[in-house]
Chains A and B, each alone.
Chain A
Amino acid sequence: MGRYVVKRILGTIPLLLAITFLIFMFIHLIPGDPARLLAGIDATDQEVETIREQLGLNQPLLVQYGEYMKGLFTGDLGNSVKNNATVMATILPRFKPTIILTITSMIWATILGVFLGIIAAVRRGKPLDYFCMIIAISGISVPGFWLGLELIQIFSVNLGWFPTAGLETARSYVLPSITMGCGIMAILARFTRSSMLENMKEDYVRTARAKGLSEPAVIMKCAFRNSLIEVVTVASLQIGGLLSGSVMTETVFSIPGLGRLLVDSINYRDYKVVQALLLFFALEYIIINLITDIVYGFLNPKIRYS
């Protein structure tokens, strides 16, 4: 097991390096002169040259990459052109709303998704199954930004139950959470259902019935117990997607989170911030995948004891 963990951790290092390089290259991939882009259209040649020097863009690429990596390890991600502050100072206050949203939507989506999935599997082929699966496939198909706007329309504009934007009260989180979690709920419902159906065909379920276990016990203790490992895996893999899914939700609800910051920074051509956010989203995704893999290993005795 220890070897498995070490192997998985070492395995992600090349991936991390490749990703940092790609994100470092981001600024160079933009067509045109990055220094001029950063300086703005009406900057003089002198100003452009100063920026070039400041950013070290006149040095060879590899030296620049080295500087960039050094910056990463010391927490120096450069300066935001828009805010006149460091990138770190720009990003840090944006974490809280995104993380709260991610957690709240994850919680309701997992509970409801797994619940619907189990019900659908147990009532397979019956009206209830179709009902759950219609909810699920709708959840996958609905554009989050539209759902968000319709929720605002109905619950904020018409009924006045929730604020339309911002994050003043706990109530403000309700509609964004629903919007953000919808897709995950749907994915988990579908996954739980197919995993349950798969497991209910297994021989050990027949054994459990032959032992004299009642049907609810067979479903929960036996079939679901086996699905649980996979469901947990799939659910945690969704967290990575959720953080970046915040882009749409935060734009719709005008929430000052990381996703919104990304959109604003792209619009302002604040490339250092864009770079830092992309790096964060990618790292977060890789790390969550890594943790998921390791946890999966712990939950699955076949991997734990080999």
Chain B
Amino acid sequence: MSETILEVKNLRTEFKREKSYVTAIHDVSFSLNKGEIVGLVGESGCGKSVTSMSIMRLLGDTSGKITNGEIRFKGRNLLDLSEREMQTIRGSRISMIFQDPMSSLNPPIRIEKQMIEAVRIHENCSKEQARKIAADMLHEVGIPDVENTLRSYPHQLSGGMCQRVMIAMAMACKPELLIADEPTTALDVTIQAQIMDLMKKIQKENGTTILLITHDLGVVAQMCSRVLVMYAGRIVEQADVHELFYNPKHPYTKGLIACVPKIGSDVRRLPSIPGSVPDLSVMPKGCKFAPRCQYASDRCLKGEPDLVLVDGRENHWIRCYLESKDQTM
């Protein structure tokens, strides 16, 4: 086994809604090993972004609160760190890129200044040195005209260019972990492929661990070595990418995979999972997926299953009664 970079244990995050607290993510545990790309998939509203913001400890402005669990980054529990210590980790050891690159850059400030700032927060160097690092990074992420780009304002760049800049900025301090929250959702399909190639290249060259959050299983199949499937704030299935696609166990995962249109198949009727992700404040009692699950039995409506190993498999975990019949209620 290679070195573990990030280990999340029993994470629970709650949000304040008027008077009561609602649980956005519940008992989430997973670990990321050095140099791997792990996909975190699920429909929108299932807690993917909350998970990533919890890891970064950036929930402060959204009235969210981590109420349980540990987030161990290279052995250190991030939840024990002071805000100041956390700042030294954000952007240098753990970086993040976001869904909408155009609005993620500050409009009235030149790219140059934003990148230099990102470098100089963490590295003790002169403006000129920081600018050199920024230029090198832009070159590395495949920006053709580095000088011009540095002198540009965000609105003068295309979406794909902005995302490259974001990646360059995130990678400027050579972080061990990059969290990419739907990095290509807002981009054209062709640009999407380029950005994905770029991320793969970065992972290969720097050995960066990447947590790729997406709802696109196609992207997962192409990029990731392991996959975490999230539903209603829980991890419902976790497996290597091959195992997951060829031997999905959870009805939700099966549904997601069935929804991916395949070339050559009969596309007159695209399958879909009926219903929608439950609202956080009106969670069903038992298995959170049960109301949408066609195999649901009484047992599923009453009690919630734990995340357990699938019989006879290594590294394939599932939160479902159907596949773990010996589990007691």
Contacts and interface: CB of A to CB of B under 8 A. Distances in A.
Q: Do chains A and B touch in the complex (CB under 8 A)?
A: yes
A204 B87 contact: no
Contacts of A209: 56, 58, 90
A220 to B, nearest CB: 13
Contacts of A213: 87, 91, 117, 121
A118 B46 CA distance: 34
B153 A305 contact: yes
28 contacts: A203-B103, A203-B104, A204-B104, A206-B58, A207-B104, A207-B105, A207-B166, A209-B56, A209-B58, A210-B56, A210-B90, A210-B91, A210-B95, A211-B91, A211-B117, A212-B87, A212-B92, A212-B121, A213-B117, A222-B106, A225-B106, A226-B106, A226-B108, A229-B108, A301-B107, A301-B108, A302-B155, A305-B156
A211 B96 CA distance: 8
Interface of B: 56, 58, 61, 83-84, 87-92, 95-96, 98, 100, 103-109, 117-118, 121-122, 153, 155-156, 166, 169-170
A212 B104 contact: no
B106 A200 contact: no
B17 to A, nearest CB: 14
Contacts of A214: 84, 87
A215 interface: yes
Contacts of B104: 203-204, 206-207
Chain A residues touching B, majority SS: helix
B12 to A, nearest CB: 22
B108 A300 contact: yes
Given A203-B103, A203-B104, A204-B104, A210 B58 contact: yes
Contacts of B91: 210-213
A225 B106 CA distance: 9
Contact of A211 (B61, B90, B100, B107): B90
A187 B106 CA distance: 26
B90 A212 contact: yes
A299 interface: yes
Given A208-B106, A213-B121, A225-B109, 4 more contacts: A210-B170, A211-B169, A212-B90, A302-B153
A202 interface: yes
Contacts of B153: 301-302, 305
A300 B87 CA distance: 30
Nearest to B106: A204
A301 B108 CA distance: 6
A305 to B, nearest CB: 7
Nearest to A124: B61
Interface in A176-220: 200, 202-204, 206-215
